[in-house]
Amino acid sequence: MSCGGISCARSSNCPSSRSPKPSLRSTASPGPIGSPTAVYVPSGAYGNAKYLGPSGIVTVLVGPGRCGAPPDPSDQEVVDVAPAPAGFRFHGGGEWVIGLLAARSGPGSVNLSRRTPPCRLLDAGLAVPAQKVGDVELRQLRYFVAVSEELNFGRAAAREHIVQSALSQQVQRLERELGVRLLERTTHYVALTSAGAAFLVEARQILAHVERAAQVARTAQGTSPALRVGIIDASYDSMPQILHEAQALYPDLVIHQVEAGVPEQYQQLVDGRLDVGIGRAALAPSGVASQLFRRDRLGVLVPRGHRFADLDAVPVEALAREPLLLAEEMKAPEFNQFTVEMCRAAGFTPTVYQGTVDSIRAASTLVAQGRCLYCVPASCISALPGTIWRPLTEPASFYPWSILWRADDDSDHVRAVVACARGMSERLGWLVTADQPAE
């Protein structure tokens, strides 16, 4: 039996391993010395290809090509293609030997079907040795992590401040270097392969260790310490005040503020790319500690002239007859969950406006146009033209803000931020009394 038209070695990974296998060398000849040899692969397949003969090893790097056709120069990187020595033996990169190896067109061709399983094709003259990782770059790891988290090359490129084509090329080179496919790509979506999901865990840890090593080196050299703090636009009232107090305690502390949604903050905290974050802690993963410091009165943003604009407060149940705008789910699932649960507790499921936003400023524009209403905490309502904010009542709702940090991080600067948040909430009365709603 054969895999994609080629006899294959017995392997636990190969479904054809239970059948007899005629040797490729007895059925097909690679062709005489001097026959042109090229390596093509179908779109989505990657690897390092080598063939070995009397003249030595010649390496061909293969990227996404078109099965049965010469590679497109725009998406194929061929380092070297040389004549095949008689009796050459092909070595595929890693276990993912998926593609087309043409010793020459016509008799003597060796074809690997796109559906060839990832098995060791030893008897077919295809040996799959353990592959060494060569020049993998940190930026390639960073770009891969960005694509994995965004699942969109455009958003990942914007996040990394490079053009999309450059990011895509670097991720492809990473896959070639590793000899495995990390991402499934179509015109409609990007998804991690099983190999990609496993590699993502290690890539995040590598980047975190490198950053920590750099921080240790800077500290040892006596350079100013740095604190990386996650913020969101809804936290612009609270976090600047907290950081101002922390800065007063440590004048030499360099604070880097990174705007990121709460789910992204969680991930960056776990990975070691952030030291402190802010948000609702209800959905925090294990390994992220939190300190509640503010219960923020929730209200509704309405356009001027709306019937709610003349009220002192708006009963939650009155929202049942209004289209409510929610935040972008990828950036603020915890806020959307809080809003929907508040409505359901009042006896109705909200009518959700068919559109999302990623900032309060963008939300206020839709509200001012009369398209929808938007629930928002009191601390976020300054300078939103064309809108009026009214507190929600029956029942009153309070959005819980927490400082977030890695549970195993006991550094002085992180402890200082947590202490400043706690002290400020006590002085300014940010924490509500026990008879007010809990999280």
Residue with the larger pLDDT of the pair 82 and 280: 280
Query: Mean pLDDT of all residues in the chain?
Result: 72
CA dihedral of residues 391, 396, 397, 402 (deg, nearest 10): 100
What share of the chain in percent tops pLDDT 70?
Answer: 65
Query: Per-residue pLDDT for 355 more than 50?
Result: yes
Q: Are strands 276-279 and 83-84 parallel, antiparallel or unpaired?
A: unpaired
- The pLDDT confidence band at residue 210, using thresholds 50, 70 and 90, is confident
For residue 47, the cross-strand partners are 62
> What would the pLDDT profile of 115-169 be if each residue is shown by its tens digit?
333 322 222 333 333 344 567 888 899 999 999 988 999 988 887 878 899 899 9
> Does the structure show a pLDDT above 90 at 439?
no
User: Do residues 335 and 363 touch, judged by C-beta distance below 8 A?
Assistant: no
Q: What are phi and psi of 182, to 5 degrees?
A: -95, -25
Check residue 221 and give its pLDDT: 67
How long a stretch of residues is the chain? 439
pLDDT of amino acid 133: 52
Model confidence at 218, in pLDDT bands (50, 70, 90)? Answer: low
Backbone dihedral angles phi then psi of residue 183, each to the nearest 5 degrees: -130, 140
Centre a 10 Å sphere on the Cβ of residue 12 and count the other Cβ atoms it contains. Answer: 7
Instruction: Check whether 34 has a pLDDT greater than 80.
Output: no
For the ranges 96-100, 237-241, 269-273, the lowest mean pLDDT is seen at 96-100
* Cβ contact 78:71 at 8 Å: yes
Q: How far is CA 263 from the centre of its chain?
A: 11
Q: Residue 19 — very low, low, confident or very high, per pLDDT cuts 50/70/90? A: very low
- Residue keyed to tokens 């509704």: 300
Q: Are 361 and 233 in contact (CB under 8 A)?
A: yes
CATH code of 138-207, in short, is 1.10.10.10
The confidence score (pLDDT) of residue 432 equals 63
Q: What is d(CA 173, CA 181) in angstroms, rounded to the nearest whole number?
A: 11
Whose CA is closest to 48, among 173, 194, 202? 173
Residue 394 backbone zone (phi > 0: left; psi -120 to 50: alpha; other: beta): left
Reported as a pLDDT band with limits 50, 70 and 90, residue 383 is low
Query: Is 50 exceeded by the pLDDT of residue 400?
Result: yes
Residues 53-91 pLDDT 10s: 333 333 333 333 333 334 343 433 333 333 333 333 333
Q: What is the reported pLDDT for 226?
A: 85
The pLDDT value given to residue 410 = 82
User: Is 138-207's fold the same as 224-434's?
Assistant: no
Residue 255 has pLDDT above 50, yes or no: yes
Q: Looking at residues 352-366, what average pLDDT do you find?
A: 87
Who wins on pLDDT, 428 or 100? 428
Q: How confident is the model at residue 278 (pLDDT cuts 50, 70, 90)?
A: very high
Give me the CATH code for the 224-434 domain, please: 3.40.190.290
Kindly list the domain boundaries of the chain, sorted by start residue. 1-132, 138-207, 224-434
User: pLDDT digits over 296-340, tens only?
Assistant: 999 999 999 999 999 999 999 999 999 999 988 888 889 999 999
Q: Which pLDDT score, from 0 to 100, does residue 223 have?
A: 62
